[in-house]
Amino acid sequence: MGQRVNSRGRRAPTFAVVTGLLVVGLVALTGVGAVAAWRDGRLNGVICGGECGPEYVIAPVGLRSAEPGDAGPDDTPASPELEAVLDRARGPLGAAVLGEHKAVAVAGTEPDGIIVATSDDTFIPASTTKLLTSFAALTVLDPQTRFDTRARLDGDRLVLVGGGDPYLTDERRPDDPAVVRADLKTLATETASTLDDAGITAVTLGYDDTLFTGPSVNPAWPHTYVRDNVVTPIGALWVDRGMVDTSRPETTPRIADPAAEARDTFAAFLRAAGIEVTIDQALRKAPDGARVVGQVTGSTVARIVESTIRTSDDEAAEVLLRHIAIAKGRPASSAEGAAVVVATLQDAGIDVGGLVLKDGSGLSRENRISPTTLVQVVRTSLTESRYAPVIDDLPVNGFSGTLAARYVTSTRGLVRAKTGTLTGVHALAGIVTDQQGRPVVFAAMADATDRTAPFGALSALDRIASAIAGR
């Protein structure tokens, strides 16, 4: 069994502590100096103990999570002149580092307002694809849905059954992220207690990960992705997303057989609880009629979406894609899930012209999305409270997620956006606040960038967002 290191999240400070520290900080940095310190991030360490999440950033006037029954944001100032906004973006869009295939689209927050764009082309979207996956997940699934991991018993045969919880862990620690809710140690303790009550002291153990179907490695991904630790083979049962070290997902080795690893981890916890366990390599499905003797329940779909958006979690996005398919009564494969996403967007009135989806994470270079589609997804997500996780946990420039280290300029805190990055591909989609405090929905995409200058491409996208803000 491989040694695994869990990620470490920070416990959010209480409101009283935050308020007290903020007052101290602002007393020390009065007036304009206090505002500048907040925007350039000097107060992050004091207030948040590190990077600050979007909950510490004041939303622009007219932008808030909708309440049930709302038609959309209210008290919104007059919409910006979109053609003028687009003209400001054209300058940085012309940067040579972005290559020849690139575009920007902008819109106000009005649900049926116009969208102006420099091109109607579609582009390789990279991780901005997760906006579409998340929107569809919150549409076809109840946002409060949770996924269970169970132990089922038939005679002396015990089976660990995966329910597609993307954040199942081995054992919970006090500083784990809130999305990590279910663990195998708790499941083993509950299962051992039930077995003891039944007078059972020894079992043979197998696992069942048959909830998901289709290939675990998407055929639209480069064949090197698993070998190079880009992504874990997608399944309904794993521990810590099949990673050895979840604090470094972009480089950590992937477990070769995540479901078997989860079974072996569960066996170790059962043995520690006094149950004799023999591994049955052939036991790969729970027998019909096997009864549940233990169960742990993961986080809600809403919280999973929040984490997926904030951290750009490829594995979680792919798991959500399969649950989307299940919710519509279709086989739980990536292809079926992608088809449901497209249909869901179309039903919501979102333009799907030219849209090609091969996965839910954006790892596939065969995906194609237009900037207009991204803008419509973001804008539509502002209209109902069920979509709040898409907007509320968009990374905030200079504060959180994949934008925490970007925009060290006067625009800090004014951009909430999902990033997208593959070699030669860069995208950004979300919301910018202009100088009048008005939210502008935008998407900027380029998929033929200078591969030798990725940071230059990122900087060019940042300048586009700053130009949209009028900074």
Render pLDDT for 139-167 as a digit per residue (tens, 0 to 9).
999 999 999 999 999 999 999 999 999 99
What is the average per-residue pLDDT within 179-191? Answer: 98
Least confident of 173-182, 391-400, 408-417: 408-417
pLDDT at 184: 98
pLDDT at 453: 95
What is the average per-residue pLDDT within 394-403? Answer: 86
For the chain, residues classed under CATH 3.50.80.20 are 146-305
CATH no., domain 146-305: 3.50.80.20
**pLDDT per residue as tens digits for the range 33-89:** 444 443 444 444 443 444 455 544 444 444 444 343 343 444 444 567 999 999 999
What is the average per-residue pLDDT within 276-287? Answer: 97
Residue 351 has pLDDT above 90, yes or no: yes
Of residues 14 and 120, more confidently modeled: 120
Tokens for 43, please give them.
């107060």
Compute φ and ψ for 39, nearest 5 degrees: -70, -35
Least confident of 181-190, 270-279, 383-392: 383-392
pLDDT at 21: 30
Compute φ and ψ for 248, nearest 5 degrees: -135, 65
pLDDT at 397: 84
Contact 440, 431 (CB under 8 A): yes
pLDDT at 322: 98
CATH topology of domain 60-125+369-468: Beta-Lactamase (3.30.450)
- Candidates 151, 125, 175, 129; CA nearest to 9 is 175
Task: Name the band, by pLDDT with cuts 50, 70 and 90, for residue 4.
Answer: very low
Residue 20 has pLDDT above 70, yes or no: no
**pLDDT per residue as tens digits for the range 409-452:** 667 888 999 999 999 999 999 999 988 889 999 999 999 999 99
**pLDDT per residue as tens digits for the range 92-127:** 999 999 999 999 999 999 988 999 999 999 999 999
| Mean pLDDT taken over the chain | 86
Percent of the chain with pLDDT strictly greater than 70: 82
Tokens for 333, please give them.
């494969």
pLDDT at 242: 94
**pLDDT per residue as tens digits for the range 235-264:** 999 999 999 887 777 777 899 899 999 999
Residue 367 has pLDDT above 70, yes or no: yes
Distance of alpha carbon 257 from alpha carbon 390, whole angstroms: 31
pLDDT at 78: 52
Distance of alpha carbon 398 from alpha carbon 41, whole angstroms: 7
pLDDT at 402: 85
Residue 25 has pLDDT above 60, yes or no: no
pLDDT at 8: 32
Predicted structure pTM score: 0.85
pLDDT at 246: 76
For the chain, residues classed under CATH 3.30.450 are 60-125+369-468
What is the average per-residue pLDDT within 395-421? Answer: 82
Of residues 218 and 401, more confidently modeled: 218
pLDDT at 407: 59
pLDDT at 247: 75
Residue 276 has pLDDT above 60, yes or no: yes
Residue 404 has pLDDT above 60, yes or no: yes
What is the average per-residue pLDDT within 332-344? Answer: 98
